[in-house]
């Protein structure tokens, strides 16, 4: 195999964006040989590819080696399982599923280690996030004590939610800002810090918009080693903030306004505390500032990485099984808020599924209803910010 024959399932904003990157030659050794969407007017944009209305037809067509799943979230599970069982490589958009139980089902379908199974967490290619992770993993930061990430630069006006009745509904999307805008941030959170032991969530359901799901979130995490964290997000705030602060033994790391600042302690804070002889003394510090010329390869790098994994056995930037963690965090926050109590992790997937089913049952959006076209006129790229 010199080139991967790719099928794109779902030609919404994301699917079309990925197709553009491939067709314009940004991804080597990859050709789109099939596309799938219920809308015929989208299919006809790809005369060079076979067109299908249903994902199963594409998966079993014999004209693809791999699929990119970019359907609405709920459909990731079924299409992903079908494709893996058919022996195809799979790259699935985030979130890999809308709830933990579906993630487990999807991951369980991945039985053949020769199949490449990846998730589109393209923010892992951003040099600033790679640098943060490197500072943590190398031990440069020392033990992490407290984290505060305010990521409220996801402002969406009311019209955004009017573009599709499935949007921001329990039945249509399975959740709100945590499932649609934040999977990247929650993935980075677990990529940096691992998973907490307990989660307390506070969610505003339709606080800023006429929607039934969360559009405003504050969450508190506790980790096994005693570290604590606060994660805050919203689609209602303007201007938004993206500020990540990490308080660690060896100093404080802050990312805000595209600058990463490391204020490093000459003596780790706990060691200083134990040995200081003056009651108001504090460790001396030095400051380093890092800036980054770009946001990394993003979607194109992820697509190329997927292709290189298939053809050359290169390691994945984001193996799909890691996609369960961001979903579990999102689910745990929503579950905690709904029950007004702390949730221990691992989350009880069956309990969450039952909860979600009860929400879906009374959702405004009825599954099977015709979806709105969902085409968004203005600049989608503007939403791909850090």
Q: Which residues bind a second copy (CB under 8 A)?
A: 145-146, 148, 150, 152, 155-160, 163, 200, 202, 204, 207-209, 216, 218, 220, 222, 226, 228, 230, 232, 234, 236-241, 243, 245, 247, 251-252, 263, 265, 269-270, 272-283, 285, 340-342, 376-380, 382-383
* Residue of 102, 100, 62 lying closest to 81 (CA atoms): 102
**Angle CA 157–160–162, to nearest 5:** 115
β-partners of residue 199 are: 221, 343
Nearer Cβ to a second copy (162/354): 162
Distance CA 163, CA 383 (A): 16
Nearer Cβ to a second copy (117/231): 231
Nearer Cβ to a second copy (90/132): 132
Cβ 377 to a second copy, closest distance in Å?
7
* Residue of 250, 247, 251 lying closest to 228 (CA atoms): 247
Nearer Cβ to a second copy (240/319): 240
Nearer Cβ to a second copy (90/151): 151
Cβ 285 to a second copy, closest distance in Å?
5
* Widest pairwise Cα distance in the chain: 77
The 3-state DSSP class for residue 309 equals helix
- Contact between 287 and 261 under an 8 Å Cβ cutoff? The reply is yes
Cβ 95 to a second copy, closest distance in Å?
20
Cβ 277 to a second copy, closest distance in Å?
6
Distance CA 189, CA 327 (A): 12
Nearer Cβ to a second copy (202/355): 202
β-partners of residue 245 are: 148, 254
Cβ 194 to a second copy, closest distance in Å?
19
Cβ 123 to a second copy, closest distance in Å?
18
Nearer Cβ to a second copy (249/301): 249
Cβ 146 to a second copy, closest distance in Å?
7
Cβ contacts of 238 within 8 Å, gap of 6 or more: 155
Q: How many CB atoms lie within 10 A of CB 272?
A: 16
Cβ 108 to a second copy, closest distance in Å?
35
- Contact between 309 and 118 under an 8 Å Cβ cutoff? The reply is yes
Report in angstroms the alpha-carbon separations of 266 from 131, 170, 197, 285, 353.
Answer: 21, 50, 31, 6, 49
Contacts 24+ apart (CB under 8 A), 219-227: 219/329, 219/333, 219/336, 221/147, 221/196, 222/196, 222/197, 222/198, 223/193, 223/194, 223/196, 223/197, 224/197, 225/143, 226/145, 227/143, 227/144, 227/145, 227/146, 227/147, 227/193
Nearer Cβ to a second copy (2/274): 274
Cβ 127 to a second copy, closest distance in Å?
24
Cβ 381 to a second copy, closest distance in Å?
9
Nearer Cβ to a second copy (202/290): 202
Cβ contacts of 366 within 8 Å, gap of 6 or more: 171
Distance CA 72, CA 232 (A): 25
Nearer Cβ to a second copy (100/167): 167
Burial 292-302 (b: 16+ CB within 10 A, else e): beebbbbbbbb
């Amino acid at each position: 195999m010199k080139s991967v024959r790719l099928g794109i399932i779902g030609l919404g904003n994301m699917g079309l964006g990925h197709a553009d990157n491939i067709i314009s030659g940004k991804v080597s050794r990859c050709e789109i040989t099939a596309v799938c969407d219920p809308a015929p007017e989208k299919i006809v944009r790809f005369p060079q590819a076979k067109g299908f209305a249903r994902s199963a037809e594409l998966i079993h067509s014999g004209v693809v080696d791999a699929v990119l799943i970019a359907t609405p979230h709920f459909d990731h599970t079924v299409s992903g399982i079908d494709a893996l069982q058919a022996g195809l490589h799979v790259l699935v958009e985030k979130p890999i599923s809308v709830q933990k139980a579906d993630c487990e089902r999807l991951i369980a379908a991945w039985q053949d280690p020769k199949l490449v199974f990846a998730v589109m967490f393209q923010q892992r290619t951003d040099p600033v996030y790679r640098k943060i992770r490197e500072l943590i993993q190398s031990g440069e930061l020392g033990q992490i004590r407290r984290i505060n990430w305010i990521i409220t630069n996801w402002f969406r006006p009311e019209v955004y939610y009017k573009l599709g009745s499935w949007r921001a509904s329990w039945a249509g999307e399975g959740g709100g800002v945590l499932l649609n805008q934040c999977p990247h941030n929650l993935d980075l959170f677990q990529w940096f810090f691992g998973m907490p032991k307990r989660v307390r969530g506070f969610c505003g359901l339709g606080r800023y918009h006429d929607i039934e799901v969360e559009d405003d979130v504050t969450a508190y995490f506790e980790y096994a080693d005693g570290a604590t964290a606060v994660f805050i997000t919203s689609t209602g705030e303007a201007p938004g903030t993206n500020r990540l602060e990490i308080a660690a033994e060896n100093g404080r790391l802050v990312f805000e306004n595209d600058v990463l600042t490391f204020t490093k302690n000459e003596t780790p804070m706990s060691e200083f505390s134990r040995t200081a002889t003056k009651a108001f003394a504090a460790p001396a510090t030095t400051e380093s500032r890092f800036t980054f010329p770009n946001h990394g390869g993003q979607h194109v790098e992820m697509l190329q990485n997927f292709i290189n994994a298939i053809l050359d056995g290169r390691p994945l930037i984001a193996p799909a099984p890691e996609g369960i963690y961001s979903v579990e965090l999102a689910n745990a926050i929503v579950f905690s808020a709904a029950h007004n109590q702390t949730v221990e992790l691992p989350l009880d997937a069956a309990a969450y599924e039952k909860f979600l089913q009860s929400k879906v049952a009374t959702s405004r959006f009825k599954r099977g209803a015709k979806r709105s076209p969902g085409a968004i006129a203005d600049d989608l790229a503007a939403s791909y910010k850090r």
